[in-house]
Amino acid sequence: GKVVLSNRSEKSGRIVTADAVKIGCGMGNIARRISDAGATENIKSSDGNAAIVHKEMPKIDYPYEISGYPRFCEAARYWLQWAGIPDSVYSDSQGKNDYTDDYKCRGIWVNYLAG
């Protein structure tokens, strides 16, 4: 595929810009499963005083699974892992809650990039 940017217009002095162009990116390939250490409940960020409760899961040998979705449909947390970003950036929960890791990692990643 290709992308063509043109500033051809009836009005002179106009410009066209592209901040980013993304074509493809493949299928998600990060295999995940329930952590051996259990999972944490999803609590509202406004419940700042709520204690983090680790949810005990049945002792089942859960298999590692990939999502089967295109990478652009997956959470930012999985893209950061795929891109080789340190786990201290994309996994604040240390593997116990991918949902909270996803929204928390976005700002942490920007700070990581900024140094």
pLDDT 10s digits, 70-91? 998 999 999 999 999 999 999 9
pLDDT at 29: 95
pLDDT 10s digits, 98-112? 999 999 999 999 999
Tokens of 38: 């259990």
Q: What is the DSSP string of 79-113?
A: HHHHTT--HHHH-TTTTS-HHHHHHHHHHHHHHHH
pLDDT 10s digits, 21-80? 877 789 999 999 877 776 777 777 677 666 666 666 677 888 999 999 999 899 999 999
104 φ, ψ (degrees, to nearest 5):
-75, -35
pLDDT at 44: 73
